[in-house]
A and B are shown apart, each in its own frame.
Chain A
């Protein structure tokens, strides 16, 4: 089934793009938000990602699984354009102005969105120590839930590079947020059916083991 949508996307079938949009717009939107901590930018990134996906359709492999990793890779590239000052000013960037939409005022929703922004900015501050490449890998592997191979596909990187970047990044990040007063540190949700593997309490320095 996934192979079939790949073929239709490659062939430039508009209905396939409509289907792709319906299935993945939300995930791309949220990925864009997690990369930028800005809902409007996230919406622009989402729109540009699908336009770019249309342009890049010929590059899709006929065989393979979900096209979400591919879309998230495009979104990641697009987000870089927004997060670097010089590129932000590029006239060539597609511009969508979300202000042009008539947005019903759901105040609960607006307040929630503002909370999300603050929360994510705190996470980003904690992640500031990481390099951009490491942040992208965290975003794809941890927050968007891609496996290593899919994240590698999204970024066009070797799988080993993704793995090593993630491992280095999470080790750094772990400690940076450990005492964050904003409640970033939580016990992980129990994973259905999964035995949680923890590092052995190996040394007095291995504080993670006590968590």
Chain B
């Protein structure tokens, strides 16, 4: 059985590569459709009666009990826990002033960044692991049903720690992210293949360190994938810099390649998820108004992280300046084993 066939004109029709198939859709177990339908209508009728009785009162008591539907003995407490202001995993979304980007400053800044990146070679032995530790957060829009009328709240995940260990060949690894299951971490078992969208460390060492050749490869990788080619190239390079330990020559070349992408600007004031102030190299996707910002230390030009800022209000009511995702890199280095931490924090 195959999963739902892709439907022309839908999102998955963008020249999409095959994705893992999911099982074909199934009906509810026999009899359950009608039972649930009856429960739903019973709940609706009960709510209408209750509302009529309580005219003038603002809030429904929560939870209220649903009458037992004929032949189906079920007590349903209606009173849904929808993440709201008291949601411990969410914090209000960050909204920042949208500073104008400066296109003229990008090449010079990226050159400084490239020079800073071109330091000593970091060698990763086959039995060692690249370790990257970051703080991550994404936008979550939730509906609060505790208010009347209901309100939409623009939240972000509470910033959480993400730790990734990967062997240089990409075959072994571990991901531990706060709040995600399993708590002890998810083994990452790669195939040993790698590409520009999911690079292993070994793969990175095979890439050209000539900016022009690199740029050509990046654009070729995105060809046929739809969307704005320049934005895609910028995003691909961003991906090669994030959660990796790029060889210094490659890092420098990636920054020099990015400097050649049309539309890349400097944003003078950017802050990473930990609050570190930086200067950003950025590009706005005109179609969506999202600006992807790579943030660097303004003095050392070290890479601090990446964030995405919505530069104009969306139809969905997400205001201009909302940070839709943010990643701050806290540590990236080489360690001896899975779960091992950098030396200074190893257990004594």
Contact = CB atoms under 8 A, between A and B. Distances in A.
Contact of A103 (B31, B136, B220, B289): B31
Interface in A155-211: 155-164, 166-168, 170-180, 184-189, 191-194, 196-200, 202-203, 205-208, 211
Contact of B316 (A156, A180, A188): A156
B32 A101 contact: yes
B197 A87 contact: no
Interface string B59-86: 0001100000000111011111111000
Contact of B21 (A144, A155, A186): A186
Contacts of A115: 23
Contacts of A51: 40, 43, 76, 78, 80
B29 to A, nearest CB: 5
B224 A27 contact: no
Contact of B17 (A33, A46, A174): A174
Contacts of A25: 28, 33, 36-37
A201 B4 CA distance: 28
Interface in B143-159: 143, 145, 149-150, 152
Nearest to B88: A86
A180 B278 CA distance: 41
B175 to A, nearest CB: 6
Contact of B22 (A113, A119, A200, A203): A119
B141 A155 contact: yes
A32 B343 CA distance: 44
Given A145-B11, A197-B224, 10 more contacts: A12-B44, A25-B36, A47-B40, A59-B149, A59-B150, A86-B89, A94-B63, A102-B31, A104-B30, A205-B221
A87 to B, nearest CB: 6
B198 A202 contact: no
A58 interface: yes
B130 interface: no
Interface of B: 2-23, 25-33, 35-37, 39-41, 43-45, 47-48, 62-63, 72-74, 76-83, 88-89, 136, 138-143, 145, 149-150, 152, 175, 177, 179-181, 186, 188, 190-191, 193-198, 203, 217, 220-221, 223-225, 227, 232, 235, 239, 285, 287-290, 308, 310, 314, 316-318, 324-325
Contacts of B16: 142, 170, 188
A128 B186 contact: yes
A159 B314 contact: yes
A21 B82 CA distance: 21
Contacts of A194: 8, 13
A141 B142 CA distance: 19
Contact of B220 (A48, A92, A174, A202): A202
Interface residues of A, number: 122
A78 interface: yes
A160 B289 contact: yes
Interface of A: 12, 14, 17-18, 21-22, 25-27, 29-30, 33-34, 43, 46-48, 50-52, 54-56, 58-59, 77-78, 80-81, 83-87, 90, 92-98, 100-104, 106, 109, 112-113, 115-116, 119-120, 122-123, 126-129, 131-133, 138, 141-148, 151-153, 155-164, 166-168, 170-180, 184-189, 191-194, 196-200, 202-203, 205-208, 211
A157 B290 CA distance: 12
Contact of B5 (A103, A132, A189, A196): A189
Contact of A148 (B11, B27, B48, B325): B11
Contacts of B224: 197-200
15 contacts: A33-B26, A54-B43, A83-B181, A87-B81, A92-B77, A120-B22, A161-B288, A167-B232, A168-B197, A175-B191, A176-B198, A189-B5, A191-B8, A197-B224, A211-B17
Contacts of B195: 175, 205-208
Contacts of B77: 92, 94-95
